[in-house]
Amino acid sequence: MEAPIIELKGLTKCYRSLRAVDNLDLAIHKGEIFGLLGPNGAGKSTTILMMLGLTEPTSGTATVCGFNATRDPIPVKRKVGYMPDNVGFYNNMTALENLVYIGRLNGIPEHEVKERARDTLEEVGLAGALNKRAATFSRGMKQRLGLADVLIKRPEVIILDEPTLGIDPSGVKDFLTLIKQLSRQQGLTVLLSSHHLHQVQQVCDRVGIFVGGKLLAEGNIDALAGNLFSSEPFVVEIAVKNVAPDTLKTDLLAIDTVKKVHINDQLLQISGDTDITPELVRFLVQKGMDITGVQRRTYGLDEIYERYFETNLNENSSSEKSSGLFQRSFFRKRK
């Protein structure tokens, strides 16, 4: 297997007595989309700064694209594109002029820079707005222009800090689709920091949950859910067309393998120790029920967070405040 494109080993940053990043180990592979999740002050920005060689770790190492980010920051900066949460442009210049300017700053030769800027604007879906002034751009278009800013140097890794902040829902969907497309087509590695669970869930191959400078959990959503919910009973949700008769709950509970039944209007939620979906469907059809949908209950990031904090709040008093804030801010922001 290829060496990770980003490898953090024992990475630690202290500001006086505060351990902003605490002994972080993380490996990210080429072409992965990795979501960095955590409340304000969790240590995400400090980690990113160390990966870019912009701040020195107190101990540990950050290796990015084969270079030690602290000792060799220049080649790292050449290979990594960073988009902060608030990208600035020259408002009186057009999209093309802005990008050509950035291209020049990145050392792209004069005979190439215009064509490269045009191609990049096309890549991010701004081909029709090349000659429009940045001042006239919507927030979504500005984010695309910001993405073009980091892509023009043809990076191997891009780091995006809250890239969907302030974009409307359909713009968010398009932007995330674009990120995924670019990553898959170009083998681009993407590190995305965000507060929006649903967005992260849509686009990231893996996520890391940061709290109080520590990485509390890391993995793909199915694996995280598998670890946290392995002892949960099997839950099947069955939607029916006709109203369930009063006796249905008792009849279902009479089946040996059924442990719990919850009926809410035309939705039946049935728990058992094993998957008894086929038996349940046969049973309900025999009872004259018209089934309109059957699905196994799965766990997403919301449930992972809820469960994670339930089990961690009491164990880690130093991150207690932070965790509570995290939970609140996540659940507020995603609405």
**Interacting residues with ligand ATP (CB under 6 A):** 15, 18, 20, 38, 40-46
User: Tokens 């994670």, residue?
Assistant: 308
Q: Is residue 32 a contact partner of residue 189, using CB atoms and an 8 Å limit?
A: yes
Q: Smaller CB distance to ligand ATP: residue 55 or 183?
A: 55
Nearest-angstrom CA–CA distance, 161 and 195: 10
Q: How far is the CB of 61 from ligand ATP (least distance, A)?
A: 18
Q: Smaller CB distance to ligand ATP: residue 42 or 159?
A: 42
CA-nearest of 33, 9, 23, 24 to 159 is: 33
Q: Smaller CB distance to ligand ATP: residue 56 or 290?
A: 56
Q: Which residue is nearest to ligand ATP (CB)?
A: 45
Nearest-angstrom CA–CA distance, 109 and 327: 48
Q: Smaller CB distance to ligand ATP: residue 15 or 90?
A: 15
Q: How far is the CB of 46 from ligand ATP (least distance, A)?
A: 3
Q: What distances in angstroms separate CA 4 from CA 8, 189, 322, one per listed residue?
A: 10, 11, 30
Q: Smaller CB distance to ligand ATP: residue 45 or 183?
A: 45
The CB density around residue 208, as the number of other CB atoms within 10 Å, is 22
Q: How far is the CB of 36 from ligand ATP (least distance, A)?
A: 8
Q: How far is the CB of 320 from ligand ATP (least distance, A)?
A: 15
Q: Is residue 214 a contact partner of residue 22, using CB atoms and an 8 Å limit?
A: yes
Q: How far is the CB of 174 from ligand ATP (least distance, A)?
A: 24
CA-nearest of 57, 48, 43 to 77 is: 48
Q: How far is the CB of 327 from ligand ATP (least distance, A)?
A: 15
Q: Smaller CB distance to ligand ATP: residue 46 or 63?
A: 46
Beta bridge partners of 94: 133
The token pair that represents 16 in the structure block: 């006086």
As a 3-state breakdown, the chain gives helix, strand, coil percent values, each rounded to 5, of 40, 25, 35
